[in-house]
Amino acid sequence: MTEFAPLSLHVPTRPSPQDNATIDTSRLSPAGAVRRPAVDVDPTEIHDLAYKLVRVLDENGEAQGEWAAALEPDVLRKGLRDMMKTRAYDQRMMRLQRQGLTSFYMQCTGEEAVACAFQSVLEKGDMNFPTYRQQGLLIAQDWPVVDMVNQILSNSADRIKGRQLPVMYSAKEAGFFSISGNLGTQYIQAVGWAMASAIRNDTRVAAAWIGDGSTAESDFHAALVFASVYRPPVILNVVNNQWAISSPQSIAGGERTTFAARAHGYNIPSLRVDGNDYLAVKAVSEWAVERARRNLGPTLIEWVTYRVAPHSTSDDPSKYRAKDASAAWPLGDPITRLKTHLIARGEWSEERSVQLEAELDQEIAAAAQEARGFGTLHDGPKQSPATMFEDVYKDMPRHLREQRQKLGY
């Protein structure tokens, strides 16, 4: 007994609010350094890639390496526009929340490339199972912004009738599965949806989304097991933005390892990718979607990025991290980086950026204004309270009819 020193509990150290030096920025490969395997690669042959970082754009905005595709300037300008529109949307919604027009909002600042580029490789009929931080999936497919704002305002035109907290969109037509407040639950559902597609000999694929923090939920594990066993056409996205509210990714189990590496035990091929590099995100998404569509099975992708904004409108990050934390982030800003690339190619300019930013701000403001015409959380028209009793079941059972009558409807 005496030969053992007393045990001690290891609680991962966290980036101090004064100093970001403890953010894990190891394993950042240079642009172009990581190889591009064939889509039918044996997962065991790319284990090393889970500890590297697929990057295309270098610090000068040049596209490098095997993942650099010859993309038309129009495609990239659309990508830039999608990301800028997503940011403009976030900023406007923040303002609506601060004005008291709604109760809550969540931005995806700094993470725009991940959702926008991923969406650009999907086809109509594919299904995303997003978290609350992938609004770019809707914006990149030019989903009507008014429709999104209606949801934020819980107004009379809200397609989900004001039943859900703001940002919990649902749009089947857009291949955007209903967002739930319960973390991780949609990850295994995406696998189930993909299994269904395979059972039906369909060609549609599913995309699962989760954050770094929620990988600790048991449904993450369940999803990987099912994906491993049945090999359905699913892309398992892990958006590692370094933070789960106040908890650094080390508390989720990211200390001295990567989330991409989680896939190895399941024999699922995985890649770790620069989430702020639009070209890298697009190329890797394309690779994974092609694998899925060719019936080669699931892929796990860790998108390495940074949550620049507060967790939500109810959060104050200055209580747990430095105010300029994102400035120290080595992967920069996805919008700036793609802009730099386009400018380097002579396909864009600062002036056009400034002009587009103003244009998008106008467009979003107009959409927000239009949505306000349908009411806001506290003012204007809203759904009848009688609708509260609808859709609990397909047909309203007697006890709900009685309760609705009790409320006076």
Backbone torsion region of residue 30, taken as left when φ is above 0, otherwise alpha when ψ lies between -120 and 50, otherwise beta:
beta
Asked if 191 touches other proteins (CB under 8 A), the answer is yes
Asked if 196 touches other proteins (CB under 8 A), the answer is yes
- Whats the size of the chain, residue-wise? 409
Q: Rounded to an integer, what is the distance from CA 316 to the centroid of its chain? A: 21
Q: Which of 92, 320, 337, 341 is catalytic?
A: 320
Per DSSP, the residues of 269-305 read -EEEEETT-HHHHHHHHHHHHHHHHTT---EEEEEE-
Nearest by Cα to 116 from 374, 375, 337? 337
Are 138 and 116 within 8 A, CB to CB? no
Are 404 and 386 within 8 A, CB to CB? yes
Phi, psi angles (nearest 5°) of residue 355 = -65, -45
Could you tell me the smallest distance in angstroms from the CB atom of residue 204 to other proteins?
Answer: 9
Q: Which x/- pattern over 205-234 shows residues binding other proteins (rule: CB under 8 A)?
A: -x-----------xx-xxx-xx--x-----
311 as an active site residue: the answer is yes
Q: For residues 102 and 272, give the distance between their C-alpha atoms in angstroms, rounded to a whole number.
A: 37
Q: Which 161-190 positions form the footprint of other proteins (CB under 8 A)?
A: 161, 163-164, 168, 170-172, 177-178, 180-182, 185, 187-190
The footprint of other proteins on this chain (CB under 8 A) covers a number of residues equal to 48
Could you tell me the smallest distance in angstroms from the CB atom of residue 190 to other proteins?
Answer: 6
341 as an active site residue: the answer is no
Asked if 90 touches other proteins (CB under 8 A), the answer is no
Could you tell me the smallest distance in angstroms from the CB atom of residue 166 to other proteins?
Answer: 13
**Placement of tokens 């949806």 in the chain:** 193
266 as an active site residue: the answer is no
Could you tell me the smallest distance in angstroms from the CB atom of residue 288 to other proteins?
Answer: 18
Give the three-class secondary structure for 9: coil
Q: Which is nearer to other proteins, 41 or 222 (CB)?
A: 222
**Placement of tokens 């699962």 in the chain:** 208
Asked if 268 touches other proteins (CB under 8 A), the answer is no
CB atoms within 10 A of CB 238: 26
Q: Which 294-323 positions form the footprint of other proteins (CB under 8 A)?
A: none
Q: Which of 133, 272, 291, 311 is catalytic?
A: 311
Using the contact rule CB under 8 A, the part of the chain among 110-118, 192-200, 285-293, 335-343 near other proteins is 192-200
Q: Which 366-405 positions form the footprint of other proteins (CB under 8 A)?
A: 390-394, 397-399
Q: For residues 234 and 253, give the distance between their C-alpha atoms in angstroms, rounded to a whole number.
A: 23
Are 52 and 69 within 8 A, CB to CB? no
Q: Which is nearer to other proteins, 25 or 164 (CB)?
A: 164
Q: Which 100-159 positions form the footprint of other proteins (CB under 8 A)?
A: 127, 129, 159
**Placement of tokens 């990149």 in the chain:** 140
- The residues annotated with a catalytic role in the active site are 307, 311, 320
Sites of contact with other proteins (CB under 8 A): 127, 129, 159-161, 163-164, 168, 170-172, 177-178, 180-182, 185, 187-200, 206, 218-219, 221-223, 225-226, 229, 390-394, 397-399
